[in-house]
Amino acid sequence: MTRAYNFSAGPATLPEPVLRQAQAEMLDWNGIGASIVEISHRSADFIAVAAEAEADLRTLLAVPDDYAVLFLSGGATSQQALLALNFASPGQVADYVVTGHWSKTAIRQASPYVTVNVAADSEAEGFRCIPARDSWQLSSGAAYVHITANETIHGVEFRGTPEIGDAPLFADFSSSIASEPVDISKYGLIYAGAQKNLGPVGIAVVVIRRDLLERSGQPRADIFDYRSHVARDSMLNTPPTWNWYLLGLTVKWMLAEGGAVEFARRNAVKSGLVYAAIDDSGGFYRNEVAAEARSRMNIPFFLPDETLTARFVAESKAAGLLALKGHKEVGGIRASLYNALPVEAAQALVAFMRDFQQRNG
C-alpha cells in the first residue's frame, strides 16, 4: 500500500508509525486479550494510558506545574462556550481579537454568556493580517482576552504572544499547538481540538492556570464545569478513550522525533518551500496574507481563474496530493502542513506546482 500525501486541514494526517501501532494493537492491546477501545476508562490499564499521555503532553508543551491539563470531548467549539461559563460573571465583558473565521466562531459561542467587546478586527482587510497591537481597544476589567493563534481558513498566524496587561490571555491553538515552543506561562488558558497536530478528531486539550479555577463563573451543570473535570482527571463522564489513546501515541511519537523544537524547524522548512514556490511564480500563484502574518500551518493560495483551480485540484489528487481544495469561504487552494506531514510532502507539492505552471501558465 502506498499512502498519499494528505494536506487536509482537519481531520488531518496522522503519523504512519502511530497508525501502524494502533493497527497492530487493535484486537489485542498490551496482551490483555481485548482492544483498548473495549476496556473500562476506570480500569487500571486505561488510567495508566491516560496518565502517560498527560505526562508526555506536559513534556511536549513544557506545561508549568501550576497548570491543569484536561482531555475533553466536544472539540474546540464546545470549549469556546465553556470559557465564558467558567471564567466570566453573567454579563461581564470579555475581549476578542478577530482575525478570521474561527475568531468569529468563538464569539458566537461565547456571546450568550458574556458581553463581547471586539477589541480588534481585521475583517475589513479581508483577514489578511493581524491587527497591530497598539490598535487594540481592550476593556478595563475584562474577564479575559481571547485570540485565535492560527486561523485555519484564512492562513494568518500570531508570531509571538501579545502583551495585554492584567487580564488573562486565552487562545485557540487548534491548528498550531506543538508546532513550535510556546511559553505557556504567558497564557491563562490554551485549548485545541486534537485533529490537526495532536491526534484524531473527537478529543480536545485544555490547559488552564489553576488559580483561574477559583472563579465562580456562571450557573452551569456539573458536566460544563472545568473544576469538576479537573477533580476527576478528565473522567467525570466516559471520555473518548480511543481518541485519547491515539493522542497519547501521537505525542510520544512527537517527543521521539525531537519535540516542539524539531517540529518548528520542519514547519519552517515546509512552509518556506511552499511560500517560495508561490512568490517565485510571477503571479501565477498568489497568497494574499501579509508576509509577517503568514501561517506556517495553513497556506491558502489562488490561481488565475476557477478553471485552472479545478484542474489543479483534480490533477493534484491524481498525483497523490490529497485535500488541496480551498475552504468554501475563501476558495482557491489550501495546503495544510501540520506536524505529521513530512518535508517530502511539501517538496512533492512544490514540484507539482512548478510542473502545473509550466503546462498551464
Positions marked catalytic: 102, 172, 196
| Cell numbers given for 54 | 498527560
**Rg, C-alpha atoms of the chain:** 21
The position carrying cell 465583558 is: 93
CA 114 vs. chain centroid, Å, equals 24
- The helix (H) or strand (E) run that includes residue 67 is strand 67-72
H runs (alpha helix) in 173-295: 226-231, 241-257, 259-279
Measured between alpha carbons, how far is 29 from 19 in angstroms, rounded to an integer? Answer: 14
- The helix (H) or strand (E) run that includes residue 148 is strand 145-148
Whether residue 222 contacts residue 30, with contact meaning beta carbons closer than 8 Å, is answered with: no
The Cβ of residue 231 has, within 10 Å, a number of other Cβ atoms equal to 12
* Cα–Cα distances in angstroms (integers) from residue 361 to residues 170, 202, 281, 353, 358, in the given order: 45, 42, 9, 11, 6
Measured between alpha carbons, how far is 100 from 155 in angstroms, rounded to an integer? Answer: 9
Long-range contacts of 32-37, Cβ-Cβ distance < 8 Å, separation of 24 or more? 36/241, 36/242, 36/245, 37/241, 37/242, 37/245
* Cα–Cα distances in angstroms (integers) from residue 107 to residues 77, 100, 173, 218, 267, in the given order: 10, 11, 16, 17, 29
Answer positive or negative: Cα dihedral of 348, 350, 353, 354.
negative
Whether residue 262 contacts residue 334, with contact meaning beta carbons closer than 8 Å, is answered with: no
- Residue 236 half-sphere exposure toward CB, CA atoms < 13 A: 16
